Amino acid sequence: RDPFSFQFDGEEHLHALVRQGKGGLLLSCHIGNWEAAGYLLERLNTKIHIVMYDGEHMKIKDYLQSVTGGFNAHIIVIKNDLSHIYAIHEALNNNELVCMHADRFVEGNRTYPAVFLGESAPFPAGPFLLVAQLKVPVCYVFAMKEGKTHYHFYSSEIKSYDFTDKQKAIQLMLRDFTAEMELKVKQYPTQWYNYYDFWMKNSG
């Protein structure tokens, strides 16, 4: 018997995303128990790729397989040689789903400013540029813990953007993503795992 219980809000959007057969990006952030989303992802009838930094991928992969009884999520490791970009392109071109965080950046990498909780904060450009370049649909997803053994999963509706004006589309994506993230931070403030100065020092 599974010791955990689950609640799903918006799971139908993810199934619809799979049925579209265009691939898709699932964007999340460092809030809640994202690794436990494996419980939700294994319910989808497609291959899932999870993008993460080197050093954490084996720990997360082992954890995913342990909590989901062998669910085999494919890990794409972010590397300096940018081979992960090719792997992401290949997955999306194969109409598969790619999950990644869109709230933290590596120093020196390109960022976009967006208003978050009333102040300007830098967000990594990479995830949003990927969507704009490949013109794939997006869902914003979150896995939250409620009590010791209960998880609540959320997915937004499928977001498809008009990339005729790429920069405008990216700004819309940022607005949608930060709005979803704000809601979850306000709803689950103790589950926002942020240990650095998130906002720009000179936002004024």
pLDDT of 93 higher than 90: no
pLDDT of 11 higher than 60: yes
Q: Is 112 left (phi over 0), alpha (psi -120 to 50) or beta?
A: beta
* pLDDT digit string, tens, across residues 104-114: 877 777 899 99
First-last CA distance in the chain: 54
- Model confidence at 149, pLDDT cuts 50, 70, 90, reads confident
* pLDDT digit string, tens, across residues 17-50: 999 999 999 999 888 886 677 777 778 888 888 8
* Per-residue pLDDT at 169: 96
Q: What is the mean pLDDT of residues 163-189?
A: 95
For residues 27 and 167, give the distance between their C-alpha atoms in angstroms, rounded to a whole number. Answer: 18
For residues 172 and 180, give the distance between their C-alpha atoms in angstroms, rounded to a whole number. Answer: 12
pLDDT of 204 higher than 80: no
